[in-house]
Amino acid sequence: MVVKEIKAKSILRKHKRIDSWFISQYGMNFYRGCKHNCVYCDGRSEGYYVEGEFGEDVWVKVNAIELLRKELDPRRKRTPLKPCFIMLGGGVGDSYQPIEEKYKLSRKALQLLHNFNLPVSILTKSTLIERDIDIIKKINERKRAIVSFSFSSVDEKISSIFEPGVPPPRKRLETLHLFKNEGIACGMFLMPVIPFITDTPTVMERTIRKAKEIDLDFIIFAGMTLKDGRQKNYFLDTLKENYPHLIPEYSNIYKKDIWGGPVSNYQESIHKTFNSISKKYKIPRRIPAHLFDDILSENDLVRVILEHLEYLLKLEGKESSYRWAANSIAKLTEPLSNMKKDLRRINGVGPTTERIILEILETGTSSYYEKLLTG
């Protein structure tokens, strides 16, 4: 294993707008490369330019905390940060992978975020996060913290093949349970489900049932991408070794796609399976509004709920124009509460969307949305 200390030029990544998965517009990565070495990890694909041997070598941004302190300081900013969660995790290296034990960059970043009074959302696969429960509790008491773990399933054997450097699912669930018992909102990112291995109704149901048993606040679901090049080659080598009979099935669903996505009829079928099982267990399929209605601006709250609505209807196989309305709202500079009488002039807003927006402005949520959220 090679560990290389590097100096980053900046640390806070800013997205175009607050996304509806994490309710966050800002994220950060302290590590490039990931010792967890998940076989399906798309951090391995050439497009991310991760140097060294992925899964073995890790580049550490040793000046991350110094940079973050400057980048968060409101006195140094022309435009203040948008109110939303600050995201730790995702990208090309888990923030709690083993090297974090030595560098403690995630811990120090959490301390800073707490000092700046910011809400935090963390996504990891590592039980090392338990070390920081003290700071996460403080953040949660003052603003809010959400802790999420990603899973491809809760099957220990499958996980040992495809997530060789990650604590087993049983341990991850225990950690989530621990955070839940401390009053912290917790979720499962059921992603990626591995085609023909963890996407079957039986395996998916076992996973979702476990999430329900520990009363997780939400599950967010997605399939697996396989981009041509390092990511696909590495994955197929493991598949050949462990599930050789599935190789032809994979050729059928992974054709030429710039993002590495599977064909649409496969996508539809796994979303259908997820929809019916998650409805059976009544688990929200997006982060529920009560976890962010006091954090976002009113326009962002409306926009995110409309995007959630679009997704939830899509799960039911229905088309809607909520995303169109959400995109129009994203461009507004005036608060929606000043435009209550003119909502219908916003592109994509018809009588139903108008009613939903007025209800969100009044109550912080929409009863239609709440119903769809758990099915």
Question: In this complex, which beta carbon is closest to ligand SF4, that of residue 57 or of residue 182?
Answer: 57
Nearer to ligand SF4, 229 or 350 (CB): 229
Nearest to 357 by CA among 368, 366, 348: 366
Minimum distance between the CB of residue 37 and ligand SF4, rounded to whole angstroms? 6
Per-residue x/- marks for ligand SF4, 8-47, CB under 6 A? --------------------------x-xxx--x-x----
Least separation in angstroms between residue 373's CB and ligand SF4 is: 26
Q: Which is nearer to ligand SF4, 41 or 147 (CB)?
A: 41
Residue 85 has a CB neighbour count (10 Å cut-off) of: 28
Contact 346, 334 (CB under 8 A): no
Closest to ligand SF4 by CB, 32 vs 323, is 32
C-alpha to C-alpha distance for 86 and 72, rounded to whole angstroms: 11
How many chain residues are in contact with ligand SF4, going by CB under 6 A? 9
Element (H, E) at 88: strand 85-89
Dist. CA 353–CA 124, nearest whole Å: 35
Measured from the CB of residue 154, what is the shortest distance to ligand SF4 in angstroms? 16
Instruction: Map residues 112-151 to x or -, x wherever contact with ligand SF4 holds by CB under 6 A.
Output: -------------x--------------------------
Q: Closest Cα to residue 264, out of 275, 272, 253? A: 253
**Beta carbon of residue 34, minimum distance to ligand SF4 (angstroms, whole number):** 3
Our finding on whether 188 is near ligand SF4 (CB under 6 A) is no
Q: How far is the CB of 96 from ligand SF4 (least distance, A)?
A: 9
Q: For residues 47 and 364, which CB has a smaller minimum distance to ligand SF4 in the complex?
A: 47
Q: Rounded to an integer, what distance in angstroms lies between the CA atom of residue 143 and that of residue 136?
A: 10
Paired tokens of 173: 């669930």
Q: Residue 96 or residue 218: which is nearer to ligand SF4 going by CB?
A: 96
Give the count of alpha carbons within 13 A of 40, CB side only: 24
Half-sphere exposure of 368 (CA within 13 A, CB side): 17
CA–CA gap between residue 344 and residue 338 (Å, rounded): 13
Least distance between ligand SF4 and beta carbon 327 (Å): 30
Residues between 46 and 105 that touch ligand SF4 (CB under 6 A): 93-94
Residue 161 CB, shortest distance to ligand SF4, in Å, is 13
Nearest-angstrom CA–CA distance, 28 and 109: 10
Give the ranges where the chain is alpha helix by DSSP (H).
Answer: 64-72, 100-103, 105-115, 133-142, 156-162, 169-181, 201-213, 230-242, 247-253, 264-281, 298-315, 322-330, 351-363, 367-374
Nearer to ligand SF4, 172 or 308 (CB): 172
In the complex, minimum distance from the CB of residue 257 to ligand SF4, in angstroms, rounded to a whole number: 20
Residues that bind ligand SF4 (CB under 6 A): 34, 36-38, 41, 43, 93-94, 125
